[in-house]
Amino acid sequence: MTLNQLLTLLLPEIVLTVAAFVVLGLDLIWRGDEVRGRWLPWVAFLGVLLTLVATIAVWPMAGVGGRPLALTVGQGFGGDAIPMMALDGLALFFKLFTVLVLLIVTLSAGEYVQTHTPFRGEFYALMLLAGLSIMLASAATNLVMIYLAIEFLSITSYVLTGYLRDDPRSTEAAIKYFIYGAGASAVMLYGFSLLYGATGTTDLAAIATALTAGSTTVRWLVFPATIMALAGLGFKIALVPFHQWSPDAYEGAPTPVTAFLSVGPKAAGFAVLMRLLLTALPGFQVDWVGVLAGVAIITMSLGNLVALRQTNVKRLLAYSSIAQAGYMLIGLAALAPLSESWTTGLNGLLLYLFAYLFTNLGAFAIVIAVENRTGSAQISDFAGLIRRAPFLAVAMFIFLLSLIGIPPTGGFLGKLFVFGAAIQQRMILLAVVGIINSVVSVYYYYAIIREMFFGQAGDAESIPVTPSLKLVVGVNAVMVLAIALYAEPFIRLATESVQMLAAKF
């Protein structure tokens, strides 16, 4: 591959990087605080929009099997460069996913950032760079690149979480996030080093080859390495033994950042987990499927049970998102051969993530709108929302239905696919626990619904909503419904994205 070809295939990442630095630069040179504050989010938005165009432009270039991204260095330099990333279905899916997350978050952050912090340029620049790291992580095919991308994502997330320097909650959230996160990534890295030692390579596909060719004595080394890698990625996804950071980080972080954290790092974690387990460790499936199923069960149950007693909506959504990650993990635990049926587990996972993206970001956009007006995000702040802002209340109702998994919403379709995969794989226990948990979750989601529709508002004034927030909420609500009612293209997108990974099983 020549340099030109390589740069063409990397276009989405390049455009996003340039956009981040343009935002940063404009923040420095643009005079007039008022004007700058109003227009910077739109500059960021435009940058992400261009990234979307670039992603669509490179989409057909990936081909069926995907392409490794490496330069042809030529003779005298020891042959070709080692590919660190690939442009394939999974990478493209997560590029699109990231772009959508960034579009929604930059649009909904406007007023919140304007009123809460004087440092706006860095906020948007960091947000775009965090998005870039998700793109890199989901495309990485080498342990070195995976580590670098995950760490890139972690560091930007720490800074964003502690962004409100003068707010004690924000700094406390950042410290907790940082300590858990740095510990988890060190454990993951130790696992990677063992994997490298067992196989002598850091390339995922080459690891798989080395493991099948090598003796079975490395098994005792690979199993702990897998568990350790799972610890680091489980931390990003907020799976249960590694979830303690998430409620605190979600509650303390600026709300647009919370929205981002609840979707972005989870997606990156799942992307890397899928690639690592399915490309590098398919021979050890018997080992890790049991672990994933166990983790999925405790993640769903604990997330839901603790969510029952929350009074802060941000914290409630944090526990709810832990539970949602548990449902998604079912898709990975119950993966099936592609040719046999409509659900491979993996396509259910991606479909679930896609629906979850619109659902959760929409719900957080409403939290932002309410918080802009009331200054806090207790469940009681939502009292009488149907009279104060009918549009928000109805949209929130749709998002909560989707989180519960009631048709006709995207959340229902996602749950249908992952539970369907579990039943098909004869993992009945997994499906039953999932369904029981969905029923339990109705209780705490209903607490918000009851408050919105039947609660007495202490303050009867209507809540003003900025046009961009209105747009975000409206588009998200429509998308949540569209994924269920007009499901075919979304299912096809998810299925085609995992075809290459799933074809091996």
> Residue numbers of the site for another protein (CB under 8 A)?
143-144, 147-148, 151, 154-155, 158-159, 162, 165-166, 168-169, 171-176, 178-179, 182-183, 186-187, 189-190, 192-194, 196-197, 200-202, 247-248, 251-252, 306, 309, 315
The CB-of-177 to another protein minimum distance in angstroms stands at 9
Which CB atom, from 195 or from 239, has the smaller least distance to another protein? Answer: 195
DSSP state of 378: B
The CB-of-221 to another protein minimum distance in angstroms stands at 10
Which CB atom, from 142 or from 343, has the smaller least distance to another protein? Answer: 142
The CB-of-381 to another protein minimum distance in angstroms stands at 17
Let me know if 24 is exposed, middle or buried by CB neighbors in 10 A (0-12, 13-18, 19+): middle
The CB-of-47 to another protein minimum distance in angstroms stands at 24
Which CB atom, from 78 or from 467, has the smaller least distance to another protein? Answer: 78
Q: Which amino acid is at 383?
A: A
Is residue 455 a contact partner of residue 383, using CB atoms and an 8 Å limit?
yes
The CB-of-75 to another protein minimum distance in angstroms stands at 18
Which CB atom, from 129 or from 357, has the smaller least distance to another protein? Answer: 129
3-state SS record for 419-455? HHHHHHCCCHHHHHHHHHHHHHHHHHHHHHHHHHHHC
Is residue 410 a contact partner of residue 403, using CB atoms and an 8 Å limit?
no
Is residue 191 a contact partner of residue 228, using CB atoms and an 8 Å limit?
yes
Which CB atom, from 52 or from 146, has the smaller least distance to another protein? Answer: 146
Which CB atom, from 111 or from 251, has the smaller least distance to another protein? Answer: 251
Within 8 A by CB and 6+ apart from 133, the residues are 149, 150, 152, 153, 156, 268
The CB-of-228 to another protein minimum distance in angstroms stands at 10
Helix (H, G, I), strand (E, B) or coil at 353: helix
Is residue 403 a contact partner of residue 363, using CB atoms and an 8 Å limit?
yes
Helix (H, G, I), strand (E, B) or coil at 32: coil
For every residue of 270-313, DSSP letters joined together read HHHHHHIIIII-GGGHHHHHHHHHHHHHHHHHHHHHHHTT--BH
Q: Which amino acid is at 5?
A: Q
The CB-of-70 to another protein minimum distance in angstroms stands at 15
Which CB atom, from 36 or from 169, has the smaller least distance to another protein? Answer: 169
The CB-of-196 to another protein minimum distance in angstroms stands at 6
Which CB atom, from 169 or from 387, has the smaller least distance to another protein? Answer: 169
